[in-house]
Chain A
Amino acid sequence: MKRLWLLALAVALVAGVCAVGQAKTLYWNLATEPPSLDPSLATDTTSHQVLKQLFVSLCQFDDATMDVLPDLAKTWEFDATTNTWTFHLRNDVYWTDRNWTLSGLPVTAEDVEFGIKRLLAPETASEYAYVMYLIKGAEAYNTGAGTADDVGVKAIDKYTVAITLNFPAGYFPGMAALWLCAPLPKVAIEKYGDKWTEAQNIVTNGPYVLGEWVHEDHLILKKNVAYYDRNNVKIDEVYCYMVNEQSTAMAMYEAGKLDVNDNPPLEDMDRIKTDPVLSKELAQAPRLCTYRYGLNSSKPPLDNINVRKALASSVDRQSLIDNVLKGNQLPAQTWTCPGMFGYVDGVALGIGYPFDPEQARKYLADAGYPGGAGFPEVTIMVNTSQGHQKIAEFVAKGWQDVLGIKVNITNQEWGVYLNTCSVDAPQVFRMGWCADYPDGNNFMNDVFHSGSGNNYEKYNNPAYDALVEKAAVSTDPAERRDLYKQAEILICETDVAFIPIYFYTYNQLTKPYVVRTFASIGGQTWKDWDILDH
């Protein structure tokens, strides 16, 4: 008996030493300084990566299936008569700062109400406030025409919040998983103003707390001992570098200073794929984005449909992927990317224009420029970036070789570039689009509807608008799929409003001792990760 007790003590001691001696630290590269850790203000993926660790939202996405799961809200229900979603919150979620001085301050429905109303307040000047315009009274408040009291967000009791919408949006729980619906710590915000997100001031409630934030240099997340699901959080600390240069990050990964390199430089892809160690550490996963070359159909010679067909048929996407991009991207002949509802496999179904030099030359001849004779110069514009430039050089060379036409490439710095594209789009310009939510509506309607601000091609076809509008409100999945297919054929094949180039993939290098998940939308979920002994 005594011996058993000693044994137990020894085991406990060893376990304790192990636990103390090996605090698990994940080394990650954020690439840049997070522009803001204020959930109302953040707009970029870097900030979201960190915010996801610091704050809980009402709901969360499952990394693998993208299903909506409970988080702060245990359950929720919808009342169709009033268009109201009611969320029932957990009562074991607490606010905390990095020194654990707030123990016992619960996260309540009022914090949710405060968070959403702060997002909508005009003086907050949130860029993403419009995403929540579907909440009753939200738009009026945000544009200064209404008051906070008229916004349809109400804390019913300490742990119940009701959100009233303008129309029945079945996908609202998915939106409630966005950081925009996160409860916010009123105390800290009122006390510190704009400075409340600094490490010494911030008050959070997620799996990690902000231990340290040295601007432009690094940021340390520490496990939140008060987090409601703390027993399942295995990594104790995440050290985030902010190294922007991909080549530098690659060097750090190879030197063991980073556990994950989520963006290895394409210059190193050949070596990575042939290296016996690195090749095993490389994982490729689809990423919900599509790369396209927009065409300005109002500028000659692109006003000629056959010219557009000729250009679309002379982009050798597979060669581009194999020789320039090197990341196993998928050639795209249609717009909505795989993994989204409404995706159509254009390559298999023969929608759009595959690489076909013969046919391309024929189109060009049909357009009145046999062999490229008399064809005016065409300009491709990209924003200043080596990656985009390489793609442009490849595409330009293809057009020159296949069609015998002269192609210029110019580049502009990003802000200028977007301005140019929206004011007076060049003949050919590159654009990318990534999913906000996994439905074809986000690609087909949000980008190419004639009224969309993202429609840099100024594509305007009433038939197309009718198709995507119908798909947006239809509840029959089969019908919606068919509508999106018709829309793809219309825009990519009949009208050639743009040239789809490829569907993105994630290329991530992960050390073998890191147990991880892959999130295809939003930031990585470090609370589900683990680090093995190494």
Chain B
Amino acid sequence: MAFRTGKTGSDNETGKALRSRSLTRDAMRRLMKNRGAVAGGIILLLLIFAAVFANFVAPYSSTEGDILNNYAAPTADHPFGCDFMGRDVLSRLIYGARISLAAGFVGAITAFVIGVTFGLVSGFFGGKTDNFMMRIVDIMYGFPTLLLIILLMVFFKSSFSVSGVAGGGLRGALSDLDRSMGGMFFIFLGIGLTSWLGMARLVRGMTLSVRNTEYVESARAIGTSRIRILFRHILPNVLGPAIVAQALQIPGFIQYEAFLSFIGLGVNPPTPSWGMMLSQGYLAMRSHFHLVLWPAVAISITLFAFNFLGDGVRDAFDPRQTR
């Protein structure tokens, strides 16, 4: 299983941040020629559309069903069959896309914010600060991510998602937030907290190289404030490649969510998540194969599309690479 989400991208070239806009247009043209990437993009757009408008797209509710239809095999009314509560599997898959995509995007954003802030500060201040902060990153690399996230999720779930009348203060507020999101909040947090290392290294490297360009040197020479240099000169140059690099990690985050839900540390039922549907289907596999088949297909197609698009994007932006 590809769980190296937080840990790639560190060897990317950094200088390309300064390339002009026409390169972006070139890249887009190259991207559009890549059939796999275009197909992946179309699938993703459809998926996002279905997820956003799930209320209209899904034929049934994701949480309501006729209990008498429990484990019903696929029929014309329910093309993918029904689950143990008689809920329409197709509809649950469509609503489940929300969870998967949200975990992918919001997880990526959380990791992005942490990683970019960390890398920016480290690279910008340099010297001892940089050294210290990078040592932290090095140490965190030694952490078995999967074990950490499991422990972290157990910790979150136990310490914050207290049911009933929430306690006061931050604890209560976090608990309420998580409950209102069907258990998603702590997934985002857990993924974010364990997956920012690669981003921090990447951004730090880029910040260092941008900081030493003549153009920033001259800005400094004319007395521009450090804050201004950081936000006006360095951040914009770093942001683009960082976003691309982070977008490539989204499939990994989707897998994280599915895995956590699979082992019961994910969303709260009846919120449909592909991972949870997979684990429920896995138990029923011998008698009701459709319950494991369709969630497996859904998550595989989604990741397939993401990866094809991501590959296309990477190739398009880095033409020196082969293919």
Interface of A toward B, CB cutoff 8 Å: 245-247, 250-251, 254, 265, 267-268, 270-271, 296, 299-300, 319, 323-324, 379-381, 384-386, 389-390, 392-394, 396-397, 408-413, 416, 419-420, 424, 426-427
Q: Are A386 and B280 in contact (CB under 8 A)?
A: yes
Residue B286 interfacial (CB < 8 Å): yes
Add 8 more A-B contacts to A386-B264, A413-B154, A427-B164 (CB < 8 A): A267-B286, A268-B284, A270-B287, A299-B165, A379-B164, A385-B264, A397-B67, A410-B183
Question: B304 CB to closest chain A CB, in angstroms?
Answer: 27
The answer on a CB contact under 8 Å between B268 and A408 is yes
Minimum CB–CB distance from B81 to chain A (whole Å) comes to 13
The count of residues in chain B whose C-beta lies closer than 8 Å to any C-beta of chain A is 33
Taking the closest CB of chain A, its distance from the CB of B231, in whole angstroms, is 41
Q: 18 A-B residue contacts at CB 8 Å?
A: A251-B286, A268-B286, A270-B71, A296-B164, A323-B68, A323-B86, A324-B70, A379-B164, A386-B280, A389-B269, A390-B84, A393-B270, A408-B163, A408-B268, A410-B163, A411-B264, A412-B161, A420-B158
Is there an interface contact between A323 and B70, defined as CB atoms closer than 8 Å?
Answer: yes
Quick one: which of B71, B158, B163, B269 contacts A379, CB cutoff 8 A? Answer: B163
Q: Which chain A residue lies CB-closest to B161?
A: A410
Instruction: Kindly state the separation between the CA atoms of A323 and B285 in the bound complex, as whole angstroms.
Output: 18
Main secondary structure of the interface of B (DSSP, over half): loop
CB distance from A526 to the nearest CB of B (A): 27
Chain A residue with minimal CB distance to B70?
A323
Residue pair A412, B270 in contact (C-beta under 8 Å)? no
CA distance A409 to B161 in the complex (A): 11
Contacts of A386 in B (CB 8 A): 264, 279-280, 283
- Interface bits B193-205 vs A (CB < 8 Å: 1, else 0): 0000000000000
| Closest-CB distance, A428 to chain B (whole angstroms) | 9
Select one of A254, A390, A410 contacting B85, CB under 8 A. A390
- Please state if A393 and B286 are interface contacts (CB–CB under 8 Å): no
Q: Is the CB of A250 within 8 A of B286?
A: yes
Contact flags (1/0) for B215-230 with A, using CB distance below 8 Å?
0000000000000000
Nearest CB in chain A: distance from B82 CB, A: 11
Given the contacts A390-B84, A409-B268, A426 and B163 also touching, CB distance less than 8 Å:
yes
B288 beta carbon closer than 8 Å to chain A: yes
Task: Find the A residue at minimum CB distance from B288.
Answer: A267
Select the residue from A250, A254, A300, A397 with max chain B CB neighbours within 10 A. Answer: A397
A-B CB proximity, top 9 nearest: A267-B284, A416-B158, A426-B163, A379-B163, A384-B264, A271-B287, A426-B164, A381-B163, A323-B67
Q: Would B269 and A392 count as touching, CB distance under 8 A? A: yes
Binding site for A on B (CB under 8 A): 63-64, 67-68, 70-71, 84-86, 154, 157-158, 161-165, 179, 183, 264-265, 268-270, 279-280, 282-288
How far, in Å, is A40 (CB) from chain B's closest CB?
A: 31
Q: What is the bound-complex CA distance between A246 and B287, given in angstroms? A: 13
> Which residues of chain A are within 8 angstroms of B280 by Cβ–Cβ distance?
386
With A and B bound together, what is the CA distance between A25 and B286 in angstroms?
Answer: 27
Do the beta carbons of A411 and B283 come within 8 Å of each other? no
- A411 and B287 form a contact (CB under 8 A): no
**Pair A268/B264 contact, Cβ less than 8 Å:** no
Contact A247 B285 (CB under 8 A): yes
Question: A474 vs B179: C-alpha distance in the bound complex, in angstroms?
Answer: 49
Q: In the bound complex, what is the Cα–Cα distance between A396 and B154 (angstroms)?
A: 24
CA distance A470 to B179 in the complex (A): 45
Alpha-carbon gap, A250 to B288, bound state (A): 14
Q: Is the CB of A420 within 8 A of B285?
A: no
Task: For residue A429, give the distance in angstroms from its CB to the closest CB of chain B.
Answer: 8
What separation, in Å, do the CA atoms of A57 and B280 have in the docked complex? 42
A394 and B67 alpha carbons, distance in the complex (Å) = 8
Q: Which residue of B lies closest to A425 (CB)?
A: B164
Contact assessment for A394 and B284 in the assembled complex, using a CB-CB cutoff below 8 Å: no
Decide if A424 touches B85 in the complex (CB within 8 Å).
no
Which residues from A are CB-within-8-Å of B68? 323
The chain A residue with its CB closest to the CB of B86 is A323
Q: Are A413 and B158 in contact (CB under 8 A)?
A: yes
Q: Which residues of B contact A247 (CB under 8 A)?
A: 282-286
With a cutoff of 8 Å between Cβ atoms, the chain B residues found around residue A394 in the complex are 67, 85
B286 near A319 (CB under 8 angstroms)?
Answer: no
A396 to B67, CA, bound (A): 13
Instruction: Kindly identify which residue among B84, B157, B179 contacts A416, using a CB–CB cutoff of 8 Å.
Output: B157
Distance (whole angstroms) from the CB of A502 to the closest CB of chain B: 16
Least Cβ–Cβ distance between B57 and chain A, in angstroms: 23
B154 vs chain A, min Cβ distance (A): 6
> From residue A372, how far is it (CB to closest CB) to chain B in Å?
16
Distance in Å: Cβ of B145 to nearest Cβ of chain A:
20
B157 touches A268 (CB 8 A): no
Contact partner of A410 (CB less than 8 A), chosen from B67, B71, B179, B286, is B179
Q: Give the distance in Å from the alpha carbon of A240 to the alpha carbon of B84 in the complex.
A: 31
For the complex, give the distance between the alpha carbons of A324 and B183 in Å: 24
The distance in angstroms between the C-alpha atoms of A426 and B162, with both chains bound, is: 8
A422: shortest Cβ distance to chain B, in Å? 13
Q: B316 CB to closest chain A CB, in angstroms?
A: 44
Q: How far is the CA of A396 from the CA of B64 in the complex (A)?
A: 11
Given the complex, which residues of B lie within 8 Å of A384, measured CB to CB? 264-265
